Amino acid sequence: MGSRVPKVNPLMDARKYSSRYTPGMAILTEPIGSIPRPASLMQAIAAFQANQISQAALQDAYASALQDTIRRLEMTGSPVITDGEQTKPSFATYPLSGLTNLAPDGVTIPFADGHVRQLPRLTASPFGYGVHAASYLVAARKYTQSPIKQAVISASAMSLLYPSQGIPGYPRELFLVDLIAEAAADIRGALDAGAASVQIDFTEARLSLKLDPSGDLLRTFVALNNQVLEGFTPAERLRIGVHVCPGGDHDSTHSADVDYAALLPDLFQLNVGRFYLQMASERDRKRVLATVRQLLGPNRIVFIGVIDPIQPEIETAAQVRDRVLEAASFFSAAQLGTTDDCGFAPFADDTSTAREIAFSKIRARVEGTELAARELGL
């Protein structure tokens, strides 16, 4: 990386991911999360489901995939890595693992190509997480000393589990009390386990405007997530961020037709220090970047998506550089980072994007970000 520290950077404390932080890292760059699983793991999962291998053999396959993913992320030069969500059932449903008070007929999420994802429905009290995100970070730490970013699902997404008809003896108000406590514990656990940063996945934000163009549902979601964040200090919030995108599953989206301008003013009411924004696939990036400039304010970092996971073509480092320079023309590089528009396999869709392509795209992001930093004299 470069050897000079930016002259002005009010967010330097937030940039110190760990003892391995490199002061010359002028523009931060982070992945969103998921990486397609290797064929060996998919084969092991299928074999386990067919009662052909043991639970121990499946766990060995998970561990091997996790170790390989971390090693290959480090080979891209990425200064911050994730576990690639190799062992998550999906980015949205990991807290539900092991729970028995759920039915399969919950809220549906329709995608533009016609396929649908469906959340479970809560059937009885109490609500609690079966798995907390810190467990993934602890498992990943066995294989690396690199800074690790941990993604968590938003409280607003989990709120969709509660049925519209209610649950006898468990009113929605009590459910939300339990939900807020669990979502806060999920973030707290990741921070305490040493996460360099914690990313709240809030992809339902843009979708909410499709369901309710008035914005009332979005504002309800923002208020709920802010209740979760109330228990964190300003310094801790510098390490907590929110990710929004129009969805990405089977190379399709659920809300790309919703105008960013309708989302961003409410989004920036969230009390976080980091915003991970899909941008590479946006049709009018300059218009969106101008809106971000108006809303950004001090002591916040915006990670601009410079890689489109849905498109099979691998971006060049020069293309990434140009996208970074475009963003830097709207606001200070001290408040600028880069990322991918979305995870590469958020719903454990491991075939739409090849694993090799995902790593190549990440490498392009890292190299292009560095090129842009050099051109900016950082």
pLDDT digit string (tens) for 55-113? 999 999 999 999 999 999 999 999 999 999 999 988 889 999 999 999 999 888 878 77
Let me know if residue 273 belongs to a domain.
yes
Where residue 317 sits, what CATH number does that domain have? 3.20.20.210
Whether the Cβ atoms of residue 168 and residue 134 lie closer than 8 Å to each other: no
Which domain, by its residues, includes 199?
12-40+78-375
- Considering its fold, how many domains does the chain have in total? 1
Let me know if residue 73 belongs to a domain.
no
What is the average pLDDT across 137-151? 97
Let me know if residue 251 belongs to a domain.
yes
Q: Which amino acid is at 253?
A: T
Whether the Cβ atoms of residue 268 and residue 275 lie closer than 8 Å to each other: yes
Let me know if residue 7 belongs to a domain.
no
Distance CA 340, CA 337 (A): 11
Let me know if residue 312 belongs to a domain.
yes
Backbone angle region of 377, left / alpha / beta, with phi > 0 → left and psi within -120 to 50 → alpha: left
The 10s digit of each residue's pLDDT in 246-293 is 777 767 677 678 888 899 999 999 999 999 999 999 989 999 999 999
pLDDT for the residue numbered 320: 98
The 10s digit of each residue's pLDDT in 297-343 is 899 999 999 999 998 999 999 999 999 999 999 999 999 999 999 99
**Pick from 160, 153, 146: which is nearest to 131 by CA?**
153
Q: How confident is the model at residue 348 (pLDDT cuts 50, 70, 90)?
A: low
Let me know if residue 34 belongs to a domain.
yes
pLDDT for the residue numbered 8: 34
The DSSP code for 81 is B
What is the average pLDDT across 158-176? 97
What is the average pLDDT across 232-251? 88
Let me know if residue 109 belongs to a domain.
yes
- The total number of residues shown for the chain amounts to 378
Q: How confident is the model at residue 15 (pLDDT cuts 50, 70, 90)?
A: very low
Let me know if residue 142 belongs to a domain.
yes
Backbone angle region of 175, left / alpha / beta, with phi > 0 → left and psi within -120 to 50 → alpha: alpha
